[in-house]
Amino acid sequence: MLARLASSRNAGLAALAAVVALLPLALVNNYYYDIAILAGLNAIVCVGLNLLIGYAGQISLGHAGFFGLGAYGSAILTARYGWPPLAALLAATLAVALLALAIGRPILRLRGHYLAMATLGMGVIISIVIATEDRYTGGPDGMSVPPLTLAGVALAGERVWYWVVGVLLVLAVWLARNLIDSPHGRALRALHGSEVAAEVGGIDSARHKVRVFVISAVYAAVAGSLAAHYAGFITPAKVTFFHSIELVTMVVFGGMASTFGAVVGAAVLTTLPQALTVFKEYEMVVFGAVMMLTMIFMPKGLVPTLAALAARRGKSP
Amino acid sequence: MSAQFLQFLLAGLTVGAIYALVALGFSIIYNASHVINFAQGEFVMIGGMCTVWLANAGWPLPLAIAAAVLLAALLGLALAKLAVEPARGASVVTLIIITIGASILLRGLATIVWDKKYHALKPFSGEMPIHIGGATLLPQSLWVLGVTLVVVLLLSWFFGRTLLGKALLATSHNRLAAQLVGISVRRVLLVAFGLSAALGAVAGILIAPITFTSWDVGVMLGLKGFAAAVLGGMGSGPGAVVGGLALGIIEAMGAGYLSSAYKDALAFVIILAVLFFMPSGLLGQRSADRV
């Protein structure tokens, strides 16, 4: 029993929960809380995206589109039509899931760079529609979003939001890790290795790819919806191609096929630009250099490389 | 009506030629290394910005252009030597992220060395519009189309007739086999990056008098070049040219006849439609899986 609790799977989750629980000790003011919340929301998207990229081996350069649809879906339903926020969140997420289901099948037939292009195109189309339909979305200026209310109580303040996002992140990681160890997860890893071999082994690869695509889209939509409510304001900047690239970068930077890698990648790359503001006009140069050097010297990403290093240390005392 | 159509067609061909040059850069690097070089757009920016900067400093235009192309080529070589080569063996996605890091780095350097303002380059030969069948054409458009044509002819000679060009093609077909017959795959990688960077710079210089240039123009042009390369079929030279011209014309027609706000969206809708029916692009080869 104890051995099972201490197995790496649960230990990782417990460690994450402990970090989330203890982090407020280091967060001295609301600015730090704000960064932690943004990192947490990014981490939720990345955990979902990592299922698609890291485990199933299918790239997506359009996930900011799903994030944006979740955000704007919630914003429009609550601000323009007076829906209760929770219902709006669910409706927006459901709509994104259906959209992902509809376009997943034709898009996921494509391979490699063609898949990258198709998902990129999808994301760009979504962002152009959002920026252009200003009657609903406020166009490039963005729109304000009412606060999230739970059972009549409005969630306000960084401290309350921190716990909401923290609990959801732990939940998201728990779900993802269960999924990876399920038959569906094993099928994904099989088709990552070789799609033809997986199909010969009796795996309906199209069905599994579409399913994980929908799941990752749902992760992004929920995080988008929460981000809109938290900030109280949303602009098309969060829906652009660059945001999609940022999300993929977080996943790869932290370590593909590592759920905690996705979390660490999101945390590091959300915090880094804030820390680099001391470099003033050199900020972009330093950020680009850090990205390049990390990927050159740790091509598998931060977490897997460090884990391998720690394991080697442990073996040879 | 037909004059209007001709006008849109000429505008589309001009922009399309630029896309084609950028797409060729993507394809060459892809062939040599299977990397999608997301820093490709930055070479376009460096070409334009460096030329403007040198021209403003009093350099004669041809000399400024040559220096800008040379600078871009050297940066391309540096990218291959210092970033892509040391990461050999890493997964393709990792290599892509490295090039994204490089593009952020280059953009950051451009804001420091130059500035964050918009700059115009003087057209190469005046601004007197030429009238053809009711449509007008800027002399600079002729430069764009002419230089692109020359570049495409030179490239087809390079890949068809020279040993180095054939080595590059051989590497794209089968890396190991190329190595076994004595091709230096490392040199091929360097040549590919240098050549692609130079092509990007040429595109950036040609378009600078028409659309202005600034530190961030590379992002959108790079994206369009990638789209053009995929539309034509990644890795195919003729595909890159066809894809680039097609993308330019689609955009110009979409902006002219439908809606200028949705011209980019229309281009991507058509690319998606093409990919759904032709999953390897217009001129790409069908690939088979080895298990």
- Three-state DSSP state, A107: helix
**Residue position matching structure tokens 């050549």:** B195
Instruction: Judge contact between A306 and A255, C-beta under 8 A.
Output: no
* Pairs of CB atoms within 8 A across A/B: 132
CB contact under 8 A, B265 and A296: no
Flag whether B283 is in a domain: no
Closest CA of chain B from A242, distance in Å? 9
Main-chain dihedrals φ then ψ at residue A98, nearest 5 degrees: -65, -40
Which residues in chain A are contacts of B280 at CB distance < 8 A? Answer: 114
Contact status, residue B152 vs residue B241, Cβ threshold 8 Å: yes
Q: Are B36 and B99 in contact (CB under 8 A)?
A: yes
What is the model's pLDDT at position A1?
A: 46
In a domain, B4, yes or no: no
Of the candidates A242, A290, A295, the beta carbon closest to that of B87 is on A295
The contacts of residue B52 (CB under 8 Å, 6+ apart) are: B119, B120, B121, B208, B213
Position B124 scores a pLDDT of: 87
What is the pLDDT, as a whole number, of residue B131?
87
Rounded-to-integer distance, Cα B252 and Cα B260, Å? 9
User: What are the b/e assignments for A40-79, b being 16+ CB within 10 Å?
Assistant: bbbbbbbbbbbbbbbbbbbbbbbbbbbbbbbbbbbbbbbb
Q: Domain for residue B255, yes or no?
A: no
Give the pLDDT confidence score for residue A3 in this predicted structure: 53
Of A118, A286, A295, the CB nearest to B97: A295
Contact between A291 and B101 using a beta-carbon 8 Å cutoff: yes
**B258 pLDDT more than 90:** no
Q: Which amino acid is at B141?
A: S
What pLDDT score was predicted for residue A215? 96
List CB contacts (< 8 A) between B106 and chain A.
Answer: 288
Instruction: Please tell me the predicted confidence (pLDDT) of residue B149.
Output: 96
Contact yes or no for A295 and B89 at CB 8 A: no
> Does the pLDDT value for residue B6 go beyond 80?
yes
Confidence at B287, pLDDT banded by 50, 70, 90: low
Nearest 10 degrees: CA dihedral of A116, B277, A209, B23?
Answer: -10
Q: B108 and A283 in contact by Cβ < 8 A?
A: yes
* CA nearest to B35 within chain A: A113
Cross-chain Cβ contact A292/B102 below 8 Å: yes
For chain B, give the DSSP string: -HHHHHHHHHHHHHHHHHHHHHHHHHHHHHHHHS---TTHHHHHHHHHHHHHHHHHTT--HHHHHHHHHHHHHHHHHHHIIIIITTTTTS-HHHHHHHHHHHHHHHHHHHHHHS-SS-B-PPPTT---PEEETTEEE-HHHHHHHHHHHHHHHHHHHHHHH-HHHHHHHHHHH-HHHHHHTT--HHHHHHHHHHHHHHHHHHHHHHHHHHH-B-TTHHHHHHHHHHHHHHHH-TT-HHHHHHHHHHHHHHHHHIIIII-STTHHHHHHHHHHHHHHH-TTTTTPPP-----
Quick one: tokens of B86? Answer: 């040391």
pLDDT for B288 equals 55
Q: Would B30 be classed as within a structural domain? A: yes
Q: Is the dihedral of CA B109, B110, B114, B115 positive or negative?
A: negative
Say if B44 falls within a structural domain. yes
Tell whether the model's pLDDT for residue B284 goes beyond 90. Answer: no
Per the prediction, chain B carries an average pLDDT of 90
Torsion, Cα of B213, B217, B220, B224 (10° steps): 50
- Position B247 in a domain: no
State how many domains chain B has. 1
Picking from B90, B262, B271, the nearest residue to A128 by CB comes out as: B262
Contacts of B15 (CB under 8 A, 6+ apart): B207, B248, B251, B252
What is the dotted CATH code of the domain comprising A30-315?
1.10.3470
Determine the distance from the C-alpha atom of residue A129 to the mean position of all C-alpha atoms in its chain, rounded to a whole number: 22
Interface predicted TM-score (ipTM): 0.86
pLDDT reading at B190 higher than 70: yes
Dist CA A18 CA A15 (whole Å): 5
Report the alpha-carbon distance of residue B69 to residue B61 in Å, rounded.
12
Task: Quote the pLDDT of residue B65.
Answer: 95
Residue A316: its pLDDT value, please? 57
Please list the pLDDT of chain A residue by residue as tens digits (317 residues).
Answer: 445 545 566 788 888 999 999 998 888 898 999 999 999 999 999 999 999 999 998 989 999 999 999 999 999 999 999 999 999 999 999 999 999 999 998 999 888 788 888 999 999 999 999 999 989 998 888 999 998 887 778 888 888 999 999 999 999 999 999 999 999 999 998 888 888 888 888 888 889 999 999 999 999 999 999 999 999 999 998 898 889 988 999 998 898 888 999 999 999 999 988 888 888 788 889 889 988 998 899 888 888 888 888 888 876 54
CA B73 from centre of chain: 13
Which residue of B94, B279, B289 is in closest CB contact with A299? B94
Domain containing B54 equals: 14-217
